[in-house]
Structure 1
Amino acid sequence: MTFRQLYLVAAALTGFAFAHADATAQAYPAKPIRLIVTFAAGGSSDALARGLAKQLGEQMGASVVVENRPGAGGNIGSEVVAKGQGDGYLLLFGTIGTHGIGPALYQQLPFDPIKDFAPISLLHLLPNVLIVNNDLPVKSVRQLIDYAKANPGRVSFASAGNGSVSHLAGELFKMHTGTKLVHVPYKGGGAAMPDVMAGRVSIMFETSTNALAAARGGRVRALAVTGIERWKQAPELPTIAEAGVPGYRVDSWTGLLAPGSTPQAIVERLNAECVKAAKNPAYREQMAALGVEAVSSTPEEFRSFIVEEVAKWRKAIELSGAKID
């Protein structure tokens, strides 16, 4: 076979591959899509996932079925998707736990959080809020840092448990500010909040909806939010970064992922649907009612975000000494 003949064959095969991928994307979806959620039914993450499933289903004219697979810090559900068929009919409702803290916290995982997944888009962002007991003599982040440095080991911070977002947000704060705060872990944020209100623990990096309700009720004092920008539901609160801790950022987040073998054409189709959802006024309002901001990103931006998140939390975990297995 001549070089010209080989060239023509290669060109024909390439054209066929692109045509096949395009046809696959156009025919998709042809059956129900399974959305794996790594939390039990009834929680806040489950509510977010079901809201997304409904919105995507309406946009795509297909059924998006939520399937709850809780356990092992989200690793059970994540493994289902990591080892699943990449045909677009199996998706993961990923979170800061499954693709941020978890990969940095667990010593051994049955999957690679980067290589075994095809990131599609960020979906939701939710900051935590730095709250302090009303009797603590500080009214700003700067004052808190100065007070903690003047009283090393006397300022404590509550968390929802070892390895939780509220725990590692505190460890990251210590790392950025050089303060010596004492960690007091609880079995869930609900158990921790009463002790912060009563003054048995000094501060907490609590989920924004719970923290804001307590602060507006006068039971604690809110100093700042942990996210990259001010929270729309409490615009009067500065970010911790702008309040004097450059580079500090903690956003709880969710995102959509598929098995790593998923065709690019399907990834792009799903990404376009996520972008469309994030711009839908009714959907945005529904998500805001749940306390989160609906967002979107490109697949490439989401992949870079995950890599940065894992690196950030790995450093915080190494400094804190937190371990699971």
Structure 2
Amino acid sequence: MAGSTRRGVMVLGVLAVGGRALAQDSRNPESRYPERSVTLVVPAAPGGGGDFTARLLGEALTRSLGQPFVVENRVGGSGNVASAAVARAAPDGYTLLLAYSGTHVANPALFPNLAWDPVRSFAPVALVLRAPHVIVVRKDLPARTLGELAEYARRSPGRLNYASSGAGTIQHIGGEQFARLVGAPMVHVPYRGAGPAMNDLVAGNIDLMITTPPAVAGLVRDGSVRALAMAGPVRHPLLPDVPTTAEAGFPGFELEAWFAVYAPAGTPQPAVERLSATIGRVVATPEFRRRCEESGTYAAYMDPAELAAFTVSELARWSGLIQRLGIQAE
């Protein structure tokens, strides 16, 4: 009888502990996050760098967390449509933004009265990767180094032109920044997309362009264009013989884009932290790093606190740069 009583007490104790756990679990649904599919909104059309990054990350998170991470391409408004949609979404962790630096920290200085704020409207989750840029010139331009390009620009102020994929883009900002750095004006020629701009560079109609290594690696190898410097802290594996701007004598000039995940402001912190930790593990895998390298980018993780501070500093840097250079969007 005593044994039966003890067994009954033990069963009741287990049930009580289980009941408390279930009650706590029901009060904190984010502890089970995610329980259904998650939408990863990207401000880019299918096929671009942002889309590639979103799908690469989404596939890895689907495997790691056991729920589908579905990429939703929201184009329009220079990326502002996607950012506004996520800022308005329910703060439950099931709608996320894969933000591009050109949208997240440059647009606030380019577009007045945005429907979203890069700091107040979002909860930082994780930095995912960085995308370095390279300075390339037409093959017959009489400049084989960055120093020679700067000297050529100074000797003929306003003669050099440079292409971008549109006004207010990172190529536009980088071109004006370089012109200011060398102390010689250059003519900005905006295109509707990087493809037409690159075609004109190859044809010799444009002197200079700042772009990503994958876009020009083949053209550099076959001699169609000439790469002068990587606008980043390290050389790039696709262009190992191309020096960095610092190595070329211009340590003050770096131009890197980045991609990071943000959730709507107010998203429960446990969900944010679990997602961020999972992204950190994904970004550290050799497979993720290899695929990033093949695309011309490199994996780079920051946790929520680090990304929050980074966002504020990048916002100040890009806003100040855009204002000093007088950059305006189309």
Gap runs ≥5 in structure 1:
1-18
Q: CA offsets, 1:102-148, max 9 Å, x none?
A: 12211220011111111111112111110012222211111211221
Q: Could you tell me how far apart the structure 2 residues matched to 1:138 and 1:307 are?
A: 38
Q: 1:281 to 1:256 in 2, by over 3 A?
A: same
Instruction: Check the 8 A contact 2:212/2:296 in 1, yes or no.
Output: no
Instruction: Check the 8 A contact 2:44/2:50 in 1, yes or no.
Output: yes
1:81 corresponding residue in structure 2: 86
Q: 1:98 aligns to what SS in structure 2?
A: helix
Q: Aligned-pair distance for 1:304? A: 2.4
Instruction: Check the 8 A contact 2:235/2:243 in 1, yes or no.
Output: yes
1:241 corresponding residue in structure 2: 246
1:130 corresponding residue in structure 2: 135
2:66 corresponding residue in structure 1: 61
CA RMSD of aligned residues (A): 2.1
Out of 283-292 and 99-108, give the one that drifted further.
Answer: 283-292
Gap runs ≥5 in structure 2:
1-23
2:221 corresponding residue in structure 1: 216
Q: Percent identity?
A: 39
1:287 corresponding residue in structure 2: 292
Length-normalised TM-score, structure 1: 0.88
Instruction: Check the 8 A contact 2:91/2:266 in 1, yes or no.
Output: yes
Task: Give the counterpart of 2:165 among 160, 169, 182.
Answer: 160
Q: CA offsets, 1:59-107, max 9 Å, x none?
A: 1111111122111111111111112221111110110122122122112
Q: Aligned-pair distance for 1:20? A: 7.3
Q: Could you tell me how far apart the structure 2 residues matched to 1:68 and 1:189 are?
A: 19
Instruction: Give the AA of the match of 1:185.
Output: P
Q: Could you tell me how far apart the structure 1 residues matched to 2:263 and 2:161 are?
A: 40
Matched, 1:148 2:153: yes
Residues 184-203 of structure 1: pairs in structure 2 closer than 5 A: 184-203=189-208
Q: Aligned-pair distance for 1:234? A: 2.1
Instruction: Give the AA of the match of 2:207.
Output: S
Q: Could you tell me how far apart the structure 1 residues matched to 2:39 and 2:249 are?
A: 44
Task: Give the counterpart of 1:105 among 107, 110, 131.
Answer: 110
Q: 2:105 aligns to what SS in structure 1?
A: helix
Task: Give the counterpart of 1:204 among 206, 209, 233.
Answer: 209
Q: Aligned-pair distance for 1:246? A: 2.3
Q: Could you tell me how far apart the structure 2 residues matched to 1:110 and 1:164 are?
A: 20
Length-normalised TM-score, structure 2: 0.87
Task: Give the counterpart of 2:323 among 314, 318, 325.
Answer: 318
Instruction: Check the 8 A contact 2:86/2:96 in 1, yes or no.
Output: yes
Q: Aligned-pair distance for 1:25? A: 4.3
2:279 corresponding residue in structure 1: 274
1:35 corresponding residue in structure 2: 40
1:299 corresponding residue in structure 2: 304
The count of aligned residue pairs is 308
Q: 1:192 to 1:109 in 2, by over 3 A?
A: same
Larger Rg, first or second structure (1 or 2): 2
Instruction: Check the 8 A contact 1:22/1:265 in 2, yes or no.
Output: no
Q: 1:119 aligns to what SS in structure 2?
A: strand
Q: Could you tell me how far apart the structure 2 residues matched to 1:321 and 1:183 are?
A: 13
